[in-house]
Structure 1
Amino acid sequence: MKILHTADWHIGKKLHKHSLQPDFDLFIDWLCNCITKNDVKVLLVSGDVFDLANPSSEARQQYFKALMKLKRLDCKIILTGGNHDSPTMLNAPQEVLRELDIHIIGGLPDDLSECIIPIKNDKSKTELLIAALPYLRDADLRTASQGNSYEDRLEALRKGIQQTFLETAKICKTEFPEIPTIAMGHLFAAGAETSESERDIQIGNQAAFNALQFGDYYNYIALGHIHKPQRVNAATPTFYSGSPIPLSFSERTNKNRVLLLDTETGWEPKSIEIPGFRALLKITGNLGKLQQKLKELQDREGLASLIEIELQEENFDSNKIYELDQLVDNFKVEGYEIVKHRASFKNKISGSGELYEEKQQLEDLQPLDVFQKLVEKQEEDEETRKELMSAFNEILEEVHQSKKA
């Protein structure tokens, strides 16, 4: 039996206000061809189906269209919720979609056995189990009796994640003995390489989970949350498939992929590279270099390549800011679009920093970064700073969850 592992679709994502909707449509078309070509029977999507907890009507429509395209391939589809997803929103059509052999686990159910999905072969015999665990929220993992200090809370989260996976493995072993099992998860594993488009989870990623604690029962662990494709050090093959399209300029060099498993040959997945549907370009240098690099671009067809520009100069010069703005405003090359530009000066005159902050885009500011700068200015000891950051992360998580209600 062949299984395909993907994650972090982030339907509805905008990159500097530029919609990535056409990119996702092209990915789904490619994915359908990949599933057909490789005779895939099960598709796993390990969380962050949507980019926002309350996605737009256009994003929801794109989601259901994608599911219908995939369903026509007679392939079982299993999706789990991620930290960006609203469990309530994902679960709403759960019963209807199950009739189409599409299984949705938006949030951790009270009964863990509801996460166990048997996969049957042509003879109606259970051949494989999928332990479809979604993103585990703080409320799923901690109890009031587990301590209130910063380190206590971190340890409680780590133990909660471990316990959930171990208990799920126990259910599989008891109810379906000797049946191979794949676990799905959406979390931050210790040592994983991140990018700028991932939202911190579980006290700002401080509760990094040691993947060796997954145990050795599962045959394969299909992870989501980290957008860069990578393997995790664990007792069993454990992989982040990565996102199917670049979601930030920090991901522009990623080799986006899906992972193909064939149970007849083993549990090491085959990486299938996804073609690039558009290029993300970052152009840096002084004004002369920027002008030259933009001039060298040739007209191209297909989805427009998105460009991020950074002017780098030694000394502050307000005229350079004006010239940069003019360069961007007058740029017109078919198949390219500048979506962000900024400037930096090695030697700033007094007050120039304030002038530059006025040009900083609101979307570049992250609440956690702003609060961290505020904390750094306070005359507090290191432990107090940790406590403040921990409390802020919990409040931030509650804000995200309230938006999903």
Structure 2
Amino acid sequence: MKILHTADWHIGKKLHKHSLHPDFDLFIDWLCQCIAENKVEVLLVSGDVFDLANPSSEARQQYFKALMKLKRLDCKIILTGGNHDSPAMLNAPQEVLRELDIHIIGGLPDEISECIIPIKNKENQTELLVAALPYLRDADLRTASQGNSYEDRLDALRKGIKQTFLDAAEFCETEYPGSPTIAMGHLFAAGAETSESERDIQIGNQAAFNALQFGKYFNYIALGHIHKPQRVNAQTPTFYSGSPIPLSFSERSNKNRILLLDTETGWEPQNIEIPVFRKLLKITGTLEILQQKLLELQARDGLASLIEIELKEANFDSNKIYELDQLVDNFKVEGYEIVKHRATFENKISGSGELYEQKQQLEDLQPLDVFQKLVDKQEEDEDTRKELLSAFNEILEEVHQSKRV
């Protein structure tokens, strides 16, 4: 049986206000071709289907169109929710999609058995099990009796993740003894490399889960949440497929891929590299260097390459800032678009230059970034700082949850 592992689609994502809608359409068209060529029977999508908990109508339409394209290939689809997704929104069409052999697990259900999906062969025999575990939220894992200190919360989160995977393994072993099993998960594994586009998870990523605690039961663990493709140190093959398209300029050098499993040959996946649909370019240097590099760009077809520009000068000069703005405003090369520019000066001074830099970067800050800067300015001990960050993350999670309702 052939199984394909992907994750972190982030439908509806905008990169510096530039929609990645066409990028995802091209990926889905390519994915359908790949599934057909490799005769894939099961498609796993390990969380973060959408970029926002309350996606736009355009993003929802793109999602359903993608599912229908994939369904025409007679491929079973199993999709789980991530930390960006609303469990309620994903689960809403759950019953209808199940009739089309599309299984959605938006959030952790009351019974672990609801996460276990048997995959049957042509003889209607169970050939494989998939433990489709979604992103595990604080509310899924903690109880009131587990304490309220910072360390208690971290410990409860780690134990909760471990227990959920153990419960899934125990159910599979009891109800389907001897059946090979794949687990899906959406979490931050200790040691994984992250990028700037990945929202902090479970108290600022400090509750990183040790993947060795997954145990030996599962034959393969298909993870989502980390956008850079990578293997995780565990007792069984455990991989992040990564996102199919770059979601930030820090991901521009990632080799985006999907992972293909063939159970007849083993549980080590084959990497299938995804074509580059759009280039992300970051250009840095003095004003003269920026001008030269922009002049060297040649017109190109296809999706426009997006450019991020950073002016770097030794001393503050307001004329340089004006010239940078003019350079960006007058830039016109077919197949390229400047989506962000900023100026930094080695010898900073307080005043307009500093304000200019802050203005350029404010839109890129996440709520936790702003709060972290505020906490850093306070004269508090380390334990108090941790408690403040923990409390803020709880409030932030409540806000996200309220938006999902």
Shorter chain as denominator, the TM-score bin is over 0.9
- Which residue of the partner structure matches residue 194 of structure 1? 194
- Which residue of the partner structure matches residue 109 of structure 2? 109
SS of 2:207's partner is coil
CA distance in 1, matches of 2:364, 2:403: 21
CA distance in 1, matches of 2:201, 2:10: 16
Offset of residue 362 of structure 1:
3.8
Aligned pairs (5 A) from 1:6-21 = 6-21=6-21
- Aligned letter for 2:390? S
- Which residue of the partner structure matches residue 61 of structure 1? 61
2:119 aligned with 1:119, yes or no? yes
- Deviations, residues 294-341 of structure 1 (Å, cap 9, x unaligned): 000000000000000000000000000000000000000000000000
- Aligned letter for 1:332? K
- Which residue of the partner structure matches residue 141 of structure 2? 141
- Which residue of the partner structure matches residue 347 of structure 2? 347
- Aligned letter for 1:38? N
Aligned pairs (5 A) from 1:160-179 = 160-179=160-179
SS of 1:345's partner is strand
- Which residue of the partner structure matches residue 377 of structure 2? 377
- Aligned letter for 2:386? K
Offset of residue 357 of structure 1:
4.3
**Which runs of no fewer than 5 residues in structure 1 stay unpaired?**
none
Alignment TM-score, normalising by the size of structure 2: 0.99
Offset of residue 376 of structure 1:
1.1
Offset of residue 144 of structure 1:
1.0
Contact 2:316 2:353 (8 Å CA) reproduced: no
- Which residue of the partner structure matches residue 31 of structure 1? 31
CA distance in 1, matches of 2:208, 2:110: 24
- Which residue of the partner structure matches residue 128 of structure 1? 128
- Deviations, residues 150-205 of structure 1 (Å, cap 9, x unaligned): 11100000000000000010000000000000000000000000000010111111
SS of 2:260's partner is strand
- Aligned letter for 1:133? L
Q: CA RMSD in A?
A: 0.8
- Aligned letter for 2:288? G
SS of 1:63's partner is helix
Offset of residue 361 of structure 1:
4.5
Contact 2:343 2:357 (8 Å CA) reproduced: no
- Deviations, residues 344-391 of structure 1 (Å, cap 9, x unaligned): 000123324543245324421221111111111111111111111111
CA distance in 1, matches of 2:197, 2:327: 27
Aligned pairs (5 A) from 1:292-311 = 292-311=292-311
Distance 1:357 1:314, change over 3 A: closer
- Which residue of the partner structure matches residue 204 of structure 2? 204
CA distance in 2, matches of 1:359, 1:73: 48
Contact 1:146 1:156 (8 Å CA) reproduced: yes
CA distance in 1, matches of 2:134, 2:223: 10
CA distance in 2, matches of 1:154, 1:58: 38
Q: Which runs of 4+ in 1 moved over 3 A?
A: none
Offset of residue 129 of structure 1:
0.1
CA distance in 2, matches of 1:70, 1:58: 19
CA distance in 2, matches of 1:352, 1:5: 49
- Deviations, residues 205-252 of structure 1 (Å, cap 9, x unaligned): 110000000111000000000000000000000000000000000000
CA distance in 2, matches of 1:214, 1:32: 31
CA distance in 2, matches of 1:269, 1:169: 21
2:358 aligned with 1:365, yes or no? no
The sequence identity of aligned pairs, in percent, is 88
Aligned pairs (5 A) from 1:226-305 = 226-305=226-305
SS of 2:45's partner is strand
SS of 1:108's partner is coil
Alignment TM-score, normalising by the size of structure 1: 0.99
SS of 2:363's partner is helix
- Which residue of the partner structure matches residue 75 of structure 2? 75
CA distance in 1, matches of 2:351, 2:326: 23
Contact 2:316 2:347 (8 Å CA) reproduced: yes
